[in-house]
A and B are shown apart, each in its own frame.
Chain A
Amino acid sequence: MDLILLLTLLCVGYIFGRIAESRHYRSIIEREKKYADILLFAAKRAPPEMTGVDAVLVSGSAVISSDYFKWFVAGLRKIFGGRFRVYETLLDRARRESILRLKQQTRELGGNAIFNVKFESFNVTMGARGGIAAIEILAYGTALIPQRTV
């Protein structure tokens, strides 16, 4: 009985997880093209020739959860160690999603450059240690918005 439940959860996790992940990646790639003209800089200082700009703090974040299948595979992986491929995509998705939200906010403000971009990650895994992993990635930085000439 327990085995049936486990197998069902694994199948559900695998199928829906795969669907959700590929759908998310498609949307990420599409939006990355859309916002490709907005540039991110890790530099703290903007080039001095950038004048007549307003500096606005912008941030974007996303909490992405693992699925049951990934969690199970990761559990097995832990025995042997090595590369956790299943979780790499999770973090990649969260990070790219948060960058896109950062860019979206900048676009709404009318800017096209973000300086001093910082990332922060926060583990929101539920249950005690060993729960199904979920992670929040926050990206923030300062958007330089050209001042409107009235």
Chain B
Amino acid sequence: MTTEILISNLDYYPGRRIVRHLGMVQGNTVRAKHVGKDLLASLKNIVGGELTGYTELLQESRSEATSRLLQAAQSIGANAVLNVRYQTTSIAQGAAEIMAYGTAVVLE
């Protein structure tokens, strides 16, 4: 389980001292859109509004990338990941890469 790893995008952890820096860790995922969802979304495009299917898809991918980040942090013995950032890149028509990266540290 990776739930005990703390994650934040601050560069320190309030009230706790950083004992050791373990370098950068990252997690990524490449996801493509579902054809059915794409079709629904293109209909939704005419009337506008939120494309819930895409919001969910990107959220799912982001949590996937985050969990890979946490796995990477755990495997090197960190108990927290600080200064986490997200990045999204479109790599092909209908496919996107989501990357999460941060600094793995050991907090006292």
Q: Which residues of A contact B (CB under 8 A)?
A: 9, 12-13, 16-17, 20-21, 24, 44-46, 50-57, 59, 61-68, 70-71, 97, 115-116, 118, 120, 122-124, 126-128, 131-132, 134, 136, 138, 140-142, 144
* Chain A residues, Cβ within 8 Å of B45: 65-68, 71, 126, 131-132, 134
Q: Which residues of B contact A (CB under 8 A)?
A: 6-15, 38, 41-42, 44-52, 54-55, 58-59, 62, 66, 84-88, 90, 93-94, 96
A-B contact pairs, 9 of them (CB 8 A): A9-B46, A12-B46, A12-B47, A57-B84, A63-B52, A65-B44, A67-B46, A138-B58, A140-B86
Q: How far apart sit A97 and B87, CA to CA, in the bound complex (Å)? A: 19
Q: How far apart sit A52 and B45, CA to CA, in the bound complex (Å)? A: 47
Contact A97:B86 (CB < 8 A) given known A55-B10, A116-B9: no
Q: Which 3 A-B pairs have the closest CB atoms?
A: A67-B48, A16-B47, A55-B8
**A61 touching B59, Cβ below 8 Å:** yes
